[in-house]
Structures are given as C-alpha cells and as structure tokens.
Chains A and B, each alone.
Chain A
C-alpha cells in the first residue's frame, strides 16, 4: 500500500507563514488532499490538487506538488490562532488500489502562538 509521511508537530507565531510537508510513495496517486481536524471534530477538506498540477492557491492556502520527489506541501499565509489544529495529508490510491480509498499521514499538529 501507499506510505504517507508527515512531520508530527509545527509551531509558529501568529502572522507568520506555516509550511506543512508530506511525502508519499505511490506515483500513480491521482489526487492529493489536505484535511484539517480541530479538537473533537471530524475532518474538514481544506483543499486538494490533481496530480498533473504543480501548484494550487486558494486564498491563504498554497499547495505545492513536486511529483518527481513525491513531495506535497501546504503553506498557510498569515497564520492565525484559529488555524491551530491537526492537518492531515491524504492521497488517493493509485493503480490497482481500492476504489476511492484514501491513504492518510499521521497528521501534523499545528500550534499558533499569539
């Protein structure tokens, strides 16, 4: 199966940019996602990128995809205390994988200090 790796913790000061990194192993994955989970809550889809794209920007969020290195990053500009949460990288299964199945990283706990 797919292995998805991401660092576990990130701390930033309010107003700074946050960059959360993720690596994956299956180059045939079609879609790559970023989810946000606040304490005690479910998963909120933040954004996703198609595998034939290099970059996607959505307001304060920028997703960069380096398909050669199988590296995905999420940049949050002007990070706010309300951005404190766990961020999950997830990739769709590639060729031969379970239909629609997502592979998740362990999640990065983002802490934003005022």
Chain B
C-alpha cells in the first residue's frame, strides 16, 4: 500500500543545475498535482494533470516543467535551478469526484 511516493526525499542543488522530481502513485488516479510549500505559506499549486498526456499550469509555474507520459507518474523538472526554488515540494493525486487527495511525503530541495 505505497500510495503516493516522491523521489528523492532530499536534494541540494547548485544554482543553474537541473533536476527532476518523480511522483508515483499506485491508486490509478486520474488527477495529479505538484505543490510547493514555503515557510509561513500554504501550499501553492505549480502544475497539474487531469490525465495521462495532459498537463496544465497552476498558480506558480515559472521555472518548472512537467510531464505525464504514464498515468501513474508525474514528473516535475527544474531546468536551471534558482535559490528562489528552495522549498518543500508535495505531490498529490486523486480520482475525479473523490473527496480526498492523497499526498506524498514531500521533497525538501535546497538551491545554493
């Protein structure tokens, strides 16, 4: 019963480096989301997907790209990391019409 799994859990990047965060869910959910959490702030939506092969921008999409090539995976990419992207990143998934979204444990990213 894995639920939503995020990889990696921690990462330190240098400014300008690139990386990909992986979110995997085993619940056959259609909808998947990437949020970021900054100190003193609630979670803000970066990008989301309502099905395999589809992605859309959320509230704070700049500096990020996403892909949903397989239904169970939602990838978040940083092409050229900046210190402003230091944050905790949460992935979530849910079924259409469901009441509950399931969250991963988060990825703590530090950009120096």
Contact = CB atoms under 8 A, between A and B. Distances in A.
Interface in A18-33: 31
Interface string A1-41: 10010001000000000000000000000010000000001
B43 A102 contact: yes
Interface stretch (A52-60, A65-73, A76-84, A93-101): A93-101
Interface residues of B, number: 26
A100 B94 contact: yes
B103 interface: yes
A100 B42 contact: no
A31 B96 CA distance: 14
A42 B108 CA distance: 11
Contact of B105 (A41, A48, A99, A106): A41
Contacts of A106: 40-42
Given A4-B42, A106-B40, A98 B48 contact: yes
Q: How large is the interface on A (under 10, 10 to 19, 20 to 34, 35 or more residues)?
A: 20 to 34
B58 A99 contact: no
Interface of B: 31, 33, 35, 40-45, 48, 50, 56, 58-59, 90, 92, 94, 96, 98-101, 103-106
Interface of A: 1, 4, 8, 31, 41-43, 45, 48, 50, 88, 90, 98-107
Given A98-B48, A100-B101, A103-B42, 16 more contacts: A4-B42, A42-B106, A43-B103, A45-B100, A90-B42, A98-B45, A100-B31, A100-B50, A100-B94, A101-B48, A104-B43, A105-B42, A106-B41, A106-B42, A107-B40, A107-B42
